[in-house]
Structure 1
Amino acid sequence: MADAVTRSHLDDGRCVGWYGPPVPGWRVAIDAERTGAPVPPALARRFGTGDFWARWTRAECCCKLADVPIVTWWRRHGLGVPAQGGALWRTLRVADLMVTVGFAPHRPSCRH
């Protein structure tokens, strides 16, 4: 994992990394969660459980790209990603994981 450009640590001890050449002028972030993990009750009450891990990993990527704590993001966007943000992201299911990779210009664009 030392060669990963960015990584995400899972609750079961695994780690997911993004391996690829850096893109000049862009930052990259990754977040992954186990699809079978239960949604914490407090978060389920606040955000619902529908497509939760996909929404969570996208929000986490934007937080990492914008260097904003998740609780600050929640207050501003919930688990959403602003349409006017300049981030590019893809979320996909890989085996038992939900993985989002996001890219943004070096100047954070998942604005709040």
Structure 2
Amino acid sequence: MTAYLRDHADDPAAPRRGHTIGFTLDGEPATAIEGQTIAGAILSTGRTSWRTTAVGAEPRGVFCGIGVCFDCIVTVGETRDVRACLRRVREGDEVCTQHDRLPDTHEEARA
């Protein structure tokens, strides 16, 4: 088997410089390249995790990158549990990180 070398100018995976759009991340202004996923946009800010697990408060971010694992969920506007690896960021999106607690079964039993 021989290596196939593609000219850099023709590489479909090469980073593209597109139109920059604005969104907010936890209330702070941020920018993304049009067409970028929310996960990609968050990663481009330097953050590698943006959620913690309900048990153990372990950091989570992108794990599978294909929408199977739910580790990268965020809230977009009023919609919770959006998989950041699947949803493309849009101009003006309000993205918030999620940190959910497990319900206290003792409190529920008392109610």
Q: How would you bin the TM-score normalised by the shorter chain?
A: under 0.3
Greater helix fraction, Structure 1 or Structure 2:
1
User: So what's the TM-score if we normalise by structure 1?
Assistant: 0.27
User: So what's the TM-score if we normalise by structure 2?
Assistant: 0.27
Larger radius of gyration between Structure 1 and Structure 2: 2
